[in-house]
Amino acid sequence: MYRRIYQTLCLIAFLAFGCNPKNETVDDNAAIVLETEEDWSQDDQEPEETETVGELEQSLIDAGLVDVKDIIPGVFVDLKYSSSDNFFGQDVYGDLYNCYLQTEVAEMLKKAYEHLQKYHPELTFLIYDGVRPLRVQQILWDNLDKPDSIKPLYVADPKIGGLHNYGVAVDLTLAWADSGEALDLGTAYDYFGYPAYPDREDQMLKEGKITQAHIDNRKILREAMKAGGFTGIGSEWWHFNAFSRKKAAELYGLVH
């Protein structure tokens, strides 16, 4: 069709210019701009979009870690330290919005996800944090308003490094697979108090601080993570480790 239009326009141009008996100059406003079929094809092409990787994210990629969603597309990610929705109200990850873990740990999390899908296909994981570079760990340590003797219950001492700093720990909750909306597990993420303690659930239930439904949801999360080879801790229902500190240090280096 474009070729036929082109031929027609050429004929019109010939009649307008070649058949002018007085060889008069044709007004510029009457000139017809001719485009070839190839020109139109180029104009129709949309510019390619390029995704920019930030400095922090590139450093994680260079360290050999993997984006969890590349391994498990069905999970949701909401990095709390890439926002002010955390215990000290500061964004310390900047433009990092993807969760990174060691490859082996991401594969373990995939097994946990498959277990969850088998028994609760309506649910998925909502990930709050994965690898945490030591430079960020220092900020969290400095801003935690607790005595130094208690701080290690919530944040690993950056002088030593914790499992998040090796990329072998993950913070997460349950969410509805169709919407990504988090289930209610009794407390917010990074809640510092007994209602968030798995070790205190019976006591908190008796005191009315959490409900049986909260405990049931936590058990679903724990069972799935256990199936993937993870272990929890006594003070945070959302935190799970793939390895011990000793094993992590043997396998990987601290992520700076």
Residue 220: pLDDT above 90?
A: yes
As to burial, measured by CB atoms within 10 angstroms (0-12 exposed, 13-18 middle, 19+ buried), residue 30 is exposed
- In order of start, what are the domains of the chain with their CATH numbers? 2-44 (no CATH), 55-251 (3.30.1380.10)
Residue 14: pLDDT above 90?
A: no
Q: Look at residue 154 in the predicted model and tell me its pLDDT.
A: 82
As to burial, measured by CB atoms within 10 angstroms (0-12 exposed, 13-18 middle, 19+ buried), residue 230 is buried
pTM (predicted TM-score)? 0.79
Catalytic residue set: 236
Q: Look at residue 152 in the predicted model and tell me its pLDDT.
A: 87
Q: Look at residue 51 in the predicted model and tell me its pLDDT.
A: 66
The predicted model gives 129-151 an average pLDDT of 90
Residue 32: pLDDT above 50?
A: no
The predicted model gives 150-154 an average pLDDT of 85
Q: Look at residue 143 in the predicted model and tell me its pLDDT.
A: 86
Residue 29: pLDDT above 70?
A: no
Higher pLDDT residue, 110 or 140?
Answer: 110
Render pLDDT for 53-82 as a digit per residue (tens, 0 to 9).
Answer: 899 999 999 999 999 999 999 999 999 999
Residue 48: pLDDT above 70?
A: no
Q: Look at residue 46 in the predicted model and tell me its pLDDT.
A: 55
Lowest mean pLDDT among 142-146, 186-190, 205-209: 142-146
